[in-house]
């Protein structure tokens, strides 16, 4: 039963956050600083997610494995200005290659 309570509390929290966002006055949203923050926030959140998923291990240890090699390959492809699908393919191939080699 506690799982359903957690789901209900989470759903109510999401609804309240959405309602809070809709109740912000338009004058606040038109400020240049708020627009700049709104443009940069998704990038920061995505970078944090990538870092956690790449270097995080169960517990608090730092993991340097095939995922880190795939990320390095993708970063190199980005530096070389490769198209997005090529960047993803490089990341997949490098990760799979390192795992196939036993890394």
- Read off the pLDDT of residues 17-64 as tens digits, 9 standing for 90 and up: 999 988 988 888 889 999 999 899 999 999 999 888 888 877 677 888
Please state the pTM of the whole predicted model.
0.64
> What average pLDDT is seen over the chain?
91
The set of residues, in sequence order, having a beta carbon less than 8 Å from that of 28 and lying 6+ positions away, is: 34
Residue 103 has a pLDDT of 65
Contact predicate 78/89, CB 8 Å: no
């Amino acid at each position: 039963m506690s799982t359903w309570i957690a789901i209900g509390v989470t759903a109510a929290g999401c609804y309240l956050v959405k309602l809070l966002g809709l109740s912000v006055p338009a004058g606040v949203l038109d400020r240049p600083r708020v627009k700049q923050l709104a443009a940069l926030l998704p990038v920061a959140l995505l970078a944090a997610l990538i870092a956690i998923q790449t270097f995080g291990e169960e517990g608090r240890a730092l993991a340097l494995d095939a995922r880190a090699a795939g990320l390095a390959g993708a970063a190199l492809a980005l530096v070389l200005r490769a198209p997005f699908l090529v960047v993803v393919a490089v990341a997949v191939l490098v990760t799979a290659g390192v795992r196939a080699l036993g890394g």
